[in-house]
Amino acid sequence: MIYLQLFLSFCLIGILAFGGGYAALPLIHEQCVEINKWLSMAEFSDLLTISQITPGPIAINSATFAGTKVGGITGALIASFGFMLPPFLIVTMLYFLYRKYGQMKPVQNILSGLKPAVTGLIASAAVSISVEALWGGRSVLLSTADWFSAVLALSAFFVLRKWKTGVITTILACGAVGIVREIAVSILG
């Protein structure tokens, strides 16, 4: 029964998660923490952290993490499949529609209108992630900001834009800087 619940819950999330992986996170929270009580809020916070630092889309990683917690490896597979099935079917259907009608002016106008909306969704997710990374649930004030994280984030942004370093290289470099900082803090007290 738990596998069916996992599948249906993550299918629902997959159907409603317009705007990408970050848009799915409130839905995952609702299903996993509030409705089904599969995860505590602390576990959900851990889910977000692990999902952000592992390769792959955050929503799939979150589904896999939650599925593993609830139903082991089988639960992970079922939750991940449940999340991926609706978008797969929708995108496949849209592909065939686009192939047939994509050159029509009304379709082009719709796509032109959707591009700014997607940009807004991505910007909104970036702001939400930035607030969490820099303030971590505290009041959003300059005095409560994590300035180390702010400088590291801006440095990563600058390096990516100026020198076009690879994303993996930048992530590894930021992780190394974080480790060095942690060692320095523990040594210097």
Alpha helices in 102-166 (DSSP H): 105-135, 147-163
Of 105, 86, 80, 116, the C-alpha closest to 3 is 80
Task: Characterise 76 by phi-psi region: left (phi > 0), alpha (psi -120 to 50), beta (else).
Answer: alpha
pLDDT for the residue numbered 181: 96
Q: Is 112 exposed, middle or buried (0-12, 13-18, 19+ CB in 10 A)?
A: exposed
pLDDT for the residue numbered 143: 93
Consecutive sets of 10 residues in the chain, 189 residues long: mean pLDDT of each?
96 87 86 94 86 88 95 97 96 94 93 87 80 87 95 96 91 94 93
Distances in Å between the alpha carbon of 186 and those of 41, 114, 135, 180, 181?
A: 28, 49, 22, 10, 9
134 alpha-carbon distance from chain centroid: 17
- Whether the Cβ atoms of residue 76 and residue 64 lie closer than 8 Å to each other: yes
- Whether the Cβ atoms of residue 49 and residue 132 lie closer than 8 Å to each other: no
Of 78, 48, 60, the C-alpha closest to 21 is 60
